[in-house]
Amino acid sequence: MESASAMEKHGVDFIPESERSSRPSDLFFVFVGSQMCFGIIVIGSLPITFGLSFWDAVTSISVGLFFGSILFGLLAPFGAKAGANGAVASGAHFGVKGRAIGTLIAIFTGIGFYSLTVWTGGEAIAAGAIRLFGWEHSPHLMALGAIVIGALTVLAALYGHAMIVATERLVSYGVAFILLLIVIVLWGDFDVGFQGGGELLLGSHWPTWFLCVTISAALPVSYSIFLNDYTRYIPKGLPSNSIAIAAGSGMFVGCWVALVFAAGITTMLKSVDAPFVPGLIDIVVWWGAALLVLVGAVGSQPQGSLCLYGAGLGLQAMAPSLGRISATLLLSAVSLLVVFVGIYVWDMTNMILAFLLIDQCVLAPWLTINLVGYYCIMKGEYRPQDLFTFMGNSGGGRYWYSGGWNRSALFAWIVGAAVGLMFIHTDYFSGPLAELSGGVGLDWIFAGATAALVYYVLERAKPAGARAEYSA
């Protein structure tokens, strides 16, 4: 059994069966606990700020999370079968060198979500200090809070898998208890029949509701790149259904609690357009503000550590000689720099929204290609030793394909991502077809569906001898 107090000795290398001590229950709590931070919670305020009623917010969140969590959970057995994290395991479908696509997505996603977590956690600490001690708001106070969060998250990420699993379980209970206390304290001011705080974002009910569905569904999908960082520690022989259900249900429960809490709280803010974290701290009693500062600090650690750990593994998969510790420290420095830029130079909110949209358009095709590969092409059977030939700088093996790349997967991913980007709309970039989707957030859905179809057709069009279908 791994000790949480011991530094993890593995990086992106193969996890032997004798060292796989995790269980589906660990997986469940990893993805419940990682949602108990303000970086995720604030997303639940969006349906209310978009003009929906409270119950419309709840239904859109629930429907979106349900479908997104199914896609997320279906990928969970992949890591257990391959004994590898998501980026390396994807080499079975993309080719040994084609794992580079997954590693770049892991790094990009990890930096983005880690920066969001550190920023919102720092914001909670700053808002708490203003409320409790009467300090003046300043970017320096935000930066100080970000440094505190950054130190906590980096430490856990360096210790690795066992530490993250242990802290996720504790945070699941602790933060959920604090959120319940806040709900009890504010219940008298809550209007369950809240009908909306203004004009609907897209002009009418159903388009705005569907936009909130796609935003909610995209949240579990965004975590798929990190999922197999944890399932690789689950014994290969455990039923795939139990692994998938544990991952999907953990993601759904954690996200649902976090997002519905935020939707309810947003209906009680002085303005639904007010910044969520300072607005919440402003309306609770003093000891509630103190507890929320604790949520900002402690709750940010598991989420931030999960993202930083996954990004570090991604960077190590790209440069094996770098080592997990060095890769994690390097990316933590880059991520904190992004946070400071968001605090002092650019608007962090618009930066994060643009990141999330672009990230989904490149990640969704990667996810669906791996799902098609796992269930329809490889049938869940892999030869792990052939996934790790890159660590010895050797070529060949079942997943070498053409010079280390599976052209079918590469082409499908490029086409899928391109289709998604054509429908995207951000403050920094809009695709030529953005207006056709009516603003309802179909970009990543189009991207994933296109990539899955193209990959399946191209793989089935290959001669039987050209497909790496089975491990034996």
Residue 58 lies in a domain: yes
φ/ψ (deg, to 5) at 425: -140, 120
Q: Could you tell me if 408 and 397 are in contact, meaning their C-beta atoms sit under 8 angstroms apart?
A: no
Computed over every residue of the chain, the mean pLDDT equals 90
Residue 97 lies in a domain: yes
Q: Where residue 470 falls among pLDDT bands split at 50, 70, 90?
A: very low
d(CA 371, CA 257) in angstroms, rounded, equals: 27
Residue 9 lies in a domain: no
Specify the DSSP class assigned to residue 382. -
Q: Could you tell me if 301 and 167 are in contact, meaning their C-beta atoms sit under 8 angstroms apart?
A: yes
d(CA 399, CA 397) in angstroms, rounded, equals: 6
Domain extent for 219:
17-360
For residues 324-340, b (16+ Cβ closer than 10 Å) or e, as one string? bbebbeebbeebbebbb
Residue 438 lies in a domain: no
| pLDDT tens, position by position, 271-308 | 888 889 999 999 999 999 999 998 888 888 888 999 99
Question: How many percent of the chain have pLDDT more than 70?
Answer: 94
Q: Where residue 161 falls among pLDDT bands split at 50, 70, 90?
A: confident
Residue 67 lies in a domain: yes
The total number of structural domains in the chain stands at 1
Residue 5 has pLDDT above 80, yes or no: no
Distinct helix (H) and strand (E) counts, the chain:
20, 0
Residue 109 lies in a domain: yes
| pLDDT tens, position by position, 415-451 | 999 999 999 887 777 888 888 877 788 999 999 999 9
**pLDDT the model gives residue 198:** 77
Residue 377 lies in a domain: no
For residues 445-465, b (16+ Cβ closer than 10 Å) or e, as one string? bbbbbbbbebbbeebeeeeee
* 66: number of Cβ within 10 Å: 16
| pLDDT tens, position by position, 172-229 | 888 889 999 999 999 999 999 999 877 899 999 999 999 999 999 999 999 999 999 9
Residues 6+ apart with CB under 8 A from 382: 81, 82, 89, 92, 471
Residue 15: name the closest of 166, 219, 221, 235 by CA. 235
Residue 365 has pLDDT above 80, yes or no: yes
Residue 215: which CATH number? 1.10.4160.10
d(CA 275, CA 266) in angstroms, rounded, equals: 10
d(CA 432, CA 388) in angstroms, rounded, equals: 40
Residue 52 lies in a domain: yes
Q: Where residue 348 falls among pLDDT bands split at 50, 70, 90?
A: low
Side chain identity, residue 52: L
